[in-house]
Structure 1
């Protein structure tokens, strides 16, 4: 269960310490280790915020921290009670993205109809007189699945109900998530930094005496160069994908 009131956060602890519980610089995401700074960036924190006290974080940042901590823990079920309350738009978009990628079951209570339409695959609704019914799809799909009789008399039970006809969900309109928008803004700087680093490493590799003078250093620089070249290719590919998606959305 996500501590949405954030009472379990210690304002004197750093962001990194909160995620790792003080156990070094690794955070276990499910059963896989991740460097805490890399994991923080998934939730829109910058590396230099790792040592920031929780008490200095904004309300939206604390919400993202709680989400990061909850999703790092091994689980196959998340329970949320009115999760959109007190969330800023950045954290709300991030929450939607993270829940969409969550491999387990999400059980949530919400009066936010738009949020339900974006996140859930079925809705359980009170029909009155202690009766509850599950509808496929989001909140907007409920009306299409109810028969005219049940909409007029929602509490009346039929002795021989007709087979339920499920409505086809309308294809969701393409949109850039907040993470996509953030990446579009930050990737150009990241690409430029990688290009600069690669140029520096290539100059070192080009030194004809480098290998004979320091074989181990040459091997380290070569490995670093290869890693940065791979990172540059991945960043350029991602930026191109997002830019094409942005143009497609703007074209309508």
Structure 2
């Protein structure tokens, strides 16, 4: 069975209460990975107070909505957990909590994230898109992946060789990769993007913070549902653009680090 968490948080009904979102109705209990727990106790695991049980989701902050989605995902019985940008909107305390819970997860975790530090702390292997539809797995976290690629360790070379040739060819693969990287230079467009993307990312982050501040108004949904919906839609677009900009910058930064060794 699979459980998942997407970065859009789109599955949340803003009119539903926190308790209803966790239990699926009016029950006081929730099934968590096969065990029956009181919903208030489970809420406390995710830093929610008992008084928040009846709070409409529309009144929760971005960080609180993120914690709610994590609580729902981790309550689902599964042996495969897929998390898309789970650290979005989370404060340091919640990040530590998430790390602890994922460390205790009994199953396979697939994590999509631009948070390098989180990948280092949680992941034990990294899958990297190498172009032309090819994905390569590197042992360890993000930093380990960068170190391996910088050292010329390229799984593509080994993956394309027959099993009986792997031992023979492995020794020459790193030098071949390094030679190719030595000749590679960033194009003008790549350099320009690498220089300008940080400012665009910063601007998008500020837009997202401004929109989240508007949505943090506990009375916004009941006072002006149309404004709440419009602001939520704009925020979703900004977060999509931000994710794309961060992805582009990360790919270019990895390329730059590889070229410079």
- Report the TM-score, using the length of structure 2 for normalisation: 0.55
* 1:212-248 deviation per Cα after TM superposition (whole angstroms, max 9, x unaligned): xxxxxxxxxxxxxxxxxxxxxxxxxxxxxxxxxxxxx
Match of 1:22 in 2: 25
**For the Cα contact (< 8 Å) 1:60–1:88, is it kept in 2?**
yes
Give the C-alpha shift of residue 130 in structure 1. Answer: 4.0
Give 1 or 2: higher helix fraction: 2
RMSD: 2.9
Which residue matches 1:13? Answer: 16
Larger-Rg structure: 1
Partner-residue secondary structure (3-state), 1:18: helix
Partner of 2:185: none
Deviation, 1:155, is 7.3
Higher relative contact order, chain-length normalized (CA < 8 Å, sep 6+): 2
Gaps of 5+ in 1: 165-252
5+ long unaligned stretches in structure 2: 162-168, 174-261
Q: Which residue of 1 aligns with 2:99?
A: 96
Secondary structure at the aligned position of 2:170 is classed as coil
- The two structures have a TM-score, normalised by structure 1, of 0.57
Q: Would the aligned equivalents of 1:126 and 1:133 in 2 still touch at CA under 8 Å?
A: yes
Aligned residues of 2:6 and 2:84 also touching (Cα < 8 A)? no
CA distance in 1, matches of 2:38, 2:68: 15
Deviations 1:31-74 (A, max 9, x none): 11000001100001111111222222111111111111111111
The aligned counterpart of 2:170 is 161
Corresponding residue SS for 1:66: helix
User: How many residues of Structure 1 are paired with residues of Structure 2 in the alignment?
Assistant: 163
Partner of 1:77: 80
Compared CA separation, residues 28 and 128, structure 1 to 2 (3 A): same
Q: Distance in 2 between matches of 1:133 and 1:3?
A: 23
